[in-house]
Amino acid sequence: MAIKAIFFDLDDTLHDHLFPFSKAFKDSFPALYQQMDVESLYKKFRDFSDLLWKKYSNQEMTLEELRIARIVMALEYFQKSITNEQASDFQAQYELNLDNLQLFAKVPELINFLKAKGKLVGIITNGPVQHQFNKINSLGLTSYVSRDRIFISDEVGVAKPNKQIFHHVAQKVNMSPSEILYIGDSWPNDVAAPIEAGWQAIWYNHRKRLAGTGHKPLAVIDHLLSIIDILDKDS
């Protein structure tokens, strides 16, 4: 069945999420920054963030507790330790850097191509509503994606990797799940979860992360414009 709608993850799919993390880590922990592969640390930071998000969604921890725990746990994985106070200071610096986000270079070209082909384009992202929407707005994505096609987990009331968020979106856009494609960088959130909901998925694996299950995405890519060739074959 032909794809009629394409939804994107936000963080590290449409914009470079490593940049604000790396800058905050360098400013907060200059000695550790010299010792570590920051991209490897970032990937563990994202893994723990995804893991802890389930607890946050179930009201088992606060957002502030999550934000402290994810950097502490990521560093512990590499046998480095920081205090909760240091983690809180890092988070504050990280949030300051989120004010200077930039879209990946090919995103405007890709979205304009999809819309010219008559595809519905939207975003599904985990996070607090105002925090995520501020990022979307500052990135200029509201020029490309209408507000009613932007779904933020805290607003919906369910978060990835719970497949119910994908069922909710399919109902809102009045489409069959098999007509919708999801694209993102996280295997559990952006590949396994939408496939479980009956959607198609493309894994944007530009960070060379590892698959966690046997789910079969439509494609695995490391360049966003590869999506154009994939959709041309589908049409």
For residues 171 and 202, membership in a common domain is answered with: yes
pLDDT at 143 over 80: yes
For residues 30 and 114, membership in a common domain is answered with: no
Where is the domain boundary, 83, 100, 117?
A: 100
Q: What is the pLDDT of residue 1?
A: 59
| Secondary structure element (H or E) that encloses residue 108, with its range | helix 107-116
Taking residues 48-61, what's their average pLDDT?
92
pLDDT at 187 over 80: yes
- Convert 127-138 to b/e letters by CB count within 10 Å (16 or more is b): beeeebbebbee
pLDDT at 131 over 70: yes
Ramachandran quadrant class, 227 (left: phi over 0; alpha: psi -120 to 50; beta: rest):
alpha
Taking residues 142-157, what's their average pLDDT?
96
205: CATH = 3.40.50.1000
For residues 219 and 117, membership in a common domain is answered with: yes
Distance CA 219, CA 222 (A): 10
Per-residue pLDDT tens digits for 58-116: 899 999 999 999 999 999 999 999 999 999 999 999 999 888 899 999 999 999 999 99
For residues 111 and 222, membership in a common domain is answered with: yes
Residue 145 vs residues 1, 70, 107, 186: alpha-carbon distances, Å: 24, 30, 12, 21
For residues 149 and 68, membership in a common domain is answered with: no
Distance CA 139, CA 14 (A): 9
What's the predicted TM-score (pTM) here?
Answer: 0.94
Where is the domain boundary, 61, 80, 100?
A: 100
pLDDT at 45 over 90: yes
Q: What is the pLDDT of residue 36?
A: 97
The closest of 219, 4, 195, 231 to 110, measured between CA atoms, is: 231
For residues 173 and 193, membership in a common domain is answered with: yes
For residues 83 and 131, membership in a common domain is answered with: no
The count of structural domains within the chain is: 2
Per-residue pLDDT tens digits for 13-32: 999 999 999 999 999 999 99
For residues 60 and 158, membership in a common domain is answered with: no
| Secondary structure element (H or E) that encloses residue 98, with its range | none
CA 99 to chain centre: 17
- Convert 183-221 to b/e letters by CB count within 10 Å (16 or more is b): bbbbbbbbbbbbbbbebbbbbbbbbeeeeeeebebbbeb
Q: What is the pLDDT of residue 235?
A: 60
> Do 122 and 156 touch, CB atoms closer than 8 A?
no
For residues 73 and 180, membership in a common domain is answered with: no
Q: What is the mean pLDDT of the chain?
A: 95
By residue range, what is the domain housing residue 62?
18-100
Taking residues 142-161, what's their average pLDDT?
96
* Residue pointed to by tokens 């880590």: 25
For residues 86 and 141, membership in a common domain is answered with: no
Where is the domain boundary, 67, 100, 133?
A: 100
